[in-house]
Structure 1
Amino acid sequence: MEGKVNTDKVFQGERLKEAREARGYTIRELTEKIELNNHQTLSKYENGKAIPPAEVLYKIMNTLDFPFNYFFEKENYDDMNNIVFFRSKASTTAKLKKMHEIKIEWVIRIFNYLESIVDFPQSDLPQIEEKEPSFFKPRDFEEIEEIALNMRKRWNLSNGPITDLTHLFEKHGIVVSTIDSNDYYVDACSKWVGNRLFILVGNEKASPSKIKFTLAHELGHYLLHHNITKEEFNTKNIYKRMEEEANHFASAFLLPAEVFSTELVTHTMDYYLLLKRRWQVSIQAMIYRSKELNLINDYQASYLWKQISKRGWRTKEPYDDVLLKERPILLKEAIELINTHNVKTKVELRDEAKLSADDIEAIATLPQGYFSQYTGKDNVIFFKKNYSS
């Protein structure tokens, strides 16, 4: 063993690997950053074949921005082998996907820690029966329409627009987190534990209508693809079909056929703009939905898509700046509740969550610098008992 850290806990090499991958470093890149002689030494640290000396560990902590106790906490890493669904561009790299896989695991860890202190809303998603692995069977779109409609009924929703989908999800026990990953390759990823769904929105700067559709898309994966195997997940044509099914679910859930069909009285772009203000769904999603429901023919759809391109609306549509910007509050309110009622100090919350302050603030949508607003020191100056102003 190389060196020894003065601690009763054992250094966890898996945590070092996770921290490195979360920051997007290769082994060689991190080796250079912390000025190790060779990358094989870092590999030994990650594989548990060596323990970093104290001075090396401090370099790792400072470079990767992780607290000391992060590297000494044993976790159940088997859970990280579960499938994480991605809504992302085809060009998304494996490195970027891995970064998001780790971060959604952090969302789950923070939730589990906070749940040991506060009561969260119970998950009101159907408990999907765990089945023996079987070959993937595509869903027909009529079945998906019915599943979407039943989900609305389960939550006592009308067939009209959903104003704040994030709040609706949190109210029914779905945990949503948003991060600014400074890229436009990953819209979101999701994972579930039992019937508790966790969603990490990877591009919080996306338009409100796009984020709304993305959230509904991830709900679709939970309801439609609960028992998918990793082999099927990694099969290109099956994955493509699952994405199509999740998209269809999102369309059906956000734009119920009966009401949307009656409201689409004309097919001009100006009228779609009017409907966007009402339904808070993108014009492009409504065009897809119109075609799905045979409300427009191929010629009309082609004309509308050409108009979208001609007006430069593929990436940014009108009203994107005025629609409600949904923000999750579940984790944020839990942390603030614990702190304001003096159950835990900010320092205790930060240390016991075992992540950097910046990471916790980002995952829980807390204001930047939230944890630096408190020093952890008790007051030493008080007013005199007999003082009166």
Structure 2
Amino acid sequence: MRVGISGFEPKRLTQVREARGLSKINLGRLVERSPSTITKWESGYHSPDADALTALSIILQCPTSWFTKPVTLYENNPVFFRTLANTAKDLCAASEHYMEWLQEISAHLQEELDFPEVNIPYLDVSDYRQIDDEMIEIMASKCRKLWGLGLAPLADLLLVIENAGVICSRFAQGSTVMDGYSQWNERESRPYIILASDKNNYFRSRFDAAHELGHLVLHRFIKRLDIVNFKPIEAQAHKFAACFMLPEEAFSVELPPGPTLENFITLKQRWGMSAQSMITRAKELLLISDVEHLRLYKQVSARGWRKGEPFDDQNEPEVVRLLPRSLQLLLDEGIFSKQSFIKYLDMSSTDVENLMSLPQGYLSENNVLQLTPKLKSKRNATINDSDEDNVVNMFDNKPR
């Protein structure tokens, strides 16, 4: 028999518990309940009482209304992760919930705003074994042609992807294992990408975005992701990223014969791709031999570039624009205040800030009374609000 508060949604507890990386045992300890009680709550057999609900809200950092928020269940394609290792199982579970929440936020925003139409070419293929290298090259070229990109380097990849109707998010995942993940929402026929900001590397982030775009283009109808097909599917997305970011016709012309590491570093800033990714692409295009490839990678290791290359710290990663601008438009139009928007979503403000790629604390900012200082110089009259920038130059009338 179910006891406790009415309207309790068991899946909401499971979502937020796993997103916070807590086991049932650990959560039970924090709220002073047994793991079996947590299991009963999540199974829907029992519901927490009011005191327990308040404790859950505090520990899991979400409003109490979150636990009574209805859950929309629908069938989606798998989330494409960059790892399926057992050590990352909890991280994958958390990431799936972040993807669910991002799509919830997007659905609410689309009730008020018209997002860009989805303009993504994709393969009508349900078996990854039907996809070969030639097909990947063709699809990468098709994307560039459809979006009018030509063969030139891309100045802002995330902007290109968002303009094609993909909803993107970028925030810290709490681990360097999870570079990014993506999913098609079949109910909306709209794709989603979440990128990790943990490594804070412009070049790596661009490759990650192109990799996830590859999943959206190549694997829309792949319905299963497991330990058997994971590696070949990842290799296909890697191949797409290289083809899309470094098109053969242009890249092969710019790379000199017998290229050195310095040649690749020179091209790095122009193409926005790491030297190591360009070396791999050059080998795939037969622009360098196996011997040259091995020599270059030995030099990469000898110079300590495996962990970081020159110029890695000179560019800030590309930023997500669509979601922050969507909220700003709603605020500017007076449709929501920051507080009413959070209440509308019934979510943690921190989760919303992360998922919408907003500055930390943006939704909890308070209005602060601004007072203008009035200074009086011994040489000048009182400085008031009409003076430029409210700044006193103490040297204007200094005797010369």
TM-score (norm 2): 0.87
What are the superposed Cα offsets for residues 90-133 of structure 1, whole Å, 9 maximum, x if unpaired? 5751001111111011111111111111111111113665x7xx
Task: Count residues with an aligned counterpart.
Answer: 365
The answer to whether the 8 A contact 1:329-1:364 is kept is no
Who is 2:397 aligned against? none
| 2:1 is equivalent to residue 4 of structure 1 | no
Corresponding residue number in structure 2 for 1:220: 214
Asked whether the 8 Å contact 1:100–1:202 carries over to 2, the reply is no
CA contact (8 A) 1:138 1:241 kept: no
Alpha-carbon distance in 2 for matches of 1:341, 1:212: 33
AA aligned to 1:77 is L
Segments of 5+ residues of structure 2 without an aligned counterpart are 368-385, 387-400
Tell me how far apart the structure 1 counterparts of residues 8 and 304 of structure 2 sit (CA, whole Å): 53
Matched letter for residue 124 of structure 1: N
- Give the whole-Å Cα distance in 1 for the aligned partners of 2:27 and 2:270: 50
Q: CA–CA distance in 2 between the matches of 1:95 and 1:49?
A: 24
Counterpart Cα distance in 1 of 2:191 and 2:94: 19
Counterpart code for 2:321: I
1:1-389 residue pairs with structure 2 within 5 A?
1=1, 3-5=3-5, 10-36=7-33, 38-79=34-75, 82-88=77-83, 90=85, 92-126=87-121, 129=124, 135-194=127-186, 195-230=189-224, 233-236=225-228, 238-266=229-257, 267-374=259-366
SS in 2 for 1:77: coil
The alpha carbon displacement at 1:361 in A equals 0.8
- Deviation at residue 324 of structure 1 after TM alignment: 4.5
Cα deviation digits, residues 26-58 of structure 1 (max 9, x gap): 00000001111x211111111111110100000
Change (3 A) 1:91 1:286: farther
Q: State the shift of 1:323 in Å.
A: 2.8
Asked whether the equivalents of residues 346 and 374 of structure 1 are also in contact (C-alpha less than 8 Å), the reply is: no
Instruction: Determine the C-alpha separation between the residues in 1 that align with 2:156 and 2:86.
Output: 31
Which amino acid is the alignment partner of residue 328 of structure 1?
Answer: V
**8 Å CA contact retained: 1:213, 1:281:** yes
Q: Which residue type is aligned with residue 329 of structure 1?
A: R
Q: Which residue of 2 aligns with 1:386?
A: none
Q: Distance in 1 between matches of 2:321 and 2:292?
A: 41
In 2, Cα distance between equivalents of 1:137 and 1:340: 49
- Distance in 2 (alpha carbons) for counterparts of 1:341 and 1:136: 46
8 Å contact 2:174–2:198 — kept in the other structure? no
Deviation at 1:367, TM superposition (A): 1.8
Look up the equivalent residue of 1:249 and give its one-letter code: F
**Do 2:176 and 2:198's aligned partners in 1 also have CA atoms closer than 8 Å?**
no
After alignment, is 252-261 or 193-202 more displaced?
193-202
Q: 1:274-319, CA deviations, whole angstroms, 9 ceiling, x for partnerless residues?
A: 0001101011100110000000001100011111111111121111
The CA distance in 2 between the partners of 1:95 and 1:243, in whole Å, is 20
Distance in 2, matches of 1:354 and 1:342, equals 19
Report the Cα distance in structure 1 between the residues aligned to 2:316 and 2:142, rounded to whole angstroms. 26
Provide, for residues 302-351 of structure 1, a one-character-per-residue CA deviation record: whole Å limited to 9, x for no partner: 01111111111112111111235201011111111111221111111101
In structure 1, distance between residues paired with 2:316 and 2:360: 22
Give deviations 1:56-96, integer Å, cap 9, x for gaps. 000000000111221112212344x6400012485751001
Q: Is the 8 A contact 1:208 1:323 kept in 2?
A: yes
Residue 197 of structure 1 aligns to a residue whose secondary structure is: strand
Greater shift, 342-351 or 293-302, is seen at: 342-351
Aligned to 1:312, the other structure's residue is in SS state coil
Give 3-state SS (helix, strand or coil) of 2:8's partner.
coil
Q: Give the aligned residue type for 2:53.
A: L
Shift in CA distance, 333/263, structure 1 to aligned 2, threshold 3 Å: same
Q: Distance in 2 between matches of 1:293 and 1:281?
A: 16
Contact 2:2 2:46 in 1 (8 A): yes
Residue 143 of structure 1 and its aligned partner are, at CA, apart by 1.6
Q: Distance in 2 between matches of 1:246 and 1:361?
A: 29
For 1:51 and 1:239, the matched residues in 2 are separated by: 38
RMSD in angstroms over aligned alpha carbons? 1.9
Q: For residues 239 and 150 of structure 1, do their structure 2 counterparts lie closer, same or farther at Cα, with a shift above 3 Å needed?
A: same
1:186-224 deviation per Cα after TM superposition (whole angstroms, max 9, x unaligned): 000101113421011123433111111111111111111
SS for the counterpart of 1:186 is coil
Q: What residue is the counterpart of 2:393 in the other structure?
A: none
